[in-house]
Amino acid sequence: MKIKFLVVFVLCSIAGTAFAQNVLDGVYVKETTPTRQALSYSYLREADVMWNKRVWRVLDLKEKINLPYAFPASKSVRDRKSLIDVIMDAAEEGSLTLYNQTDDEFTMPLTSEDLKKLGGAGVDTVTLTEPDPPYNTYDTVITRSFSRDKVIAYRIKEDWFFDKQRSVIEARIIGVAPMIYAVDEYGNIREGNIKVPLFWVYYNEARQLFANSEVFNRTNDAERRSYDDMFQKRIFSSYIMKESNVYDRRIDDYAQGLNALLESERIKTEIVNMEHDLWEY
């Protein structure tokens, strides 16, 4: 009797697994984005670069055009992920290297132990005293975890250059860094709501990962872009926080408020005018 029950149980399990595999959440199997290859950059020689400027910009996730980078917040949506989920999942699997936030030149990779301490996460042992006699003391362990929804913006490091061989001005992203509000050693947000990078991602290393990750399209679910498409096609809104300069200072080191925004727009206008002045109409 037990053998018959076991055989029936195994057959039901196999049938249930086969049935689950035949379930298609949609009308077709998505094959394009998961299997596509990131397009290689055009070959570039140093001798062909007549002009070059490096800028750092901030992509604020609160802006409407940038919402596809922040959502979905829940992992219940299976066909796409937010940008931070794409990055963190790949880092935890060991397929993507993250770099220390204090150095945007990608010289200090984060270790597995560093990943456990991101954003003020960690484990502390605190000694507590009972409020009533005999006032015994005891140790308790407090665990702080990093929540991915704390990411509020992304810092982008990129180079703008003129290639005389192709007669184009082009921008190439060097690195991307998720940003959070600065926290103290206890995980509490510091005064002033200062935005700081969480870590850096070398863009060339992450391009293939971004090319295989879908992004929501407001007008057509059949024509979704990838994160690589979004970055390469400049489908985001941002403001410049720094340009290469002799002092190596940021805009907010010498301008505040409206003046900082105007300075950011001035740098953008200089880049646009640089391209326009190359041609005669």
Q: Is residue 34 part of a domain?
A: no
Residues in CB range of 167: below 8 A, 6 or more apart: none
The three-state secondary structure class of 170 is strand
Q: Is residue 263 part of a domain?
A: yes
Query: How distant is the alpha carbon of residue 143 from its chain centre?
Result: 25
The per-residue pLDDT string of the chain (281 residues; one tens digit each, 9 = 90 and over) reads 445 544 445 455 554 544 446 787 777 888 888 888 999 999 999 999 999 999 999 999 999 999 999 999 877 788 889 999 999 999 999 999 999 998 889 999 998 888 887 876 666 565 666 676 766 676 666 666 778 888 999 999 999 999 999 999 999 999 999 999 887 766 677 777 788 999 999 999 999 999 999 999 888 888 889 999 999 999 999 999 999 999 999 999 999 999 999 999 999 999 999 888 887 76
Task: Tell me which residue range forms the domain holding 158.
Answer: 48-117+148-276
41 domain residue, yes or no = no
- Asked, for residue 216, whether it belongs to a domain, the answer is yes
Q: Considering the domain boundaries, does residue 29 fall inside one?
A: no
Number of independent structural domains in the chain: 1
| Residue 170 maps to a domain | yes
Q: Which residues pair with 175 in a beta bridge?
A: 157, 202
Query: For residue 195, which of 255, 144, 153 has the smallest C-alpha distance?
Result: 153
Query: What is the value of pTM for the model shown?
Result: 0.83
Domain annotation covers residue 242: yes
Residue with tokens 């505040």: 256
Residue 257 lies in a domain: yes
H or E, element range at 232: helix 227-232
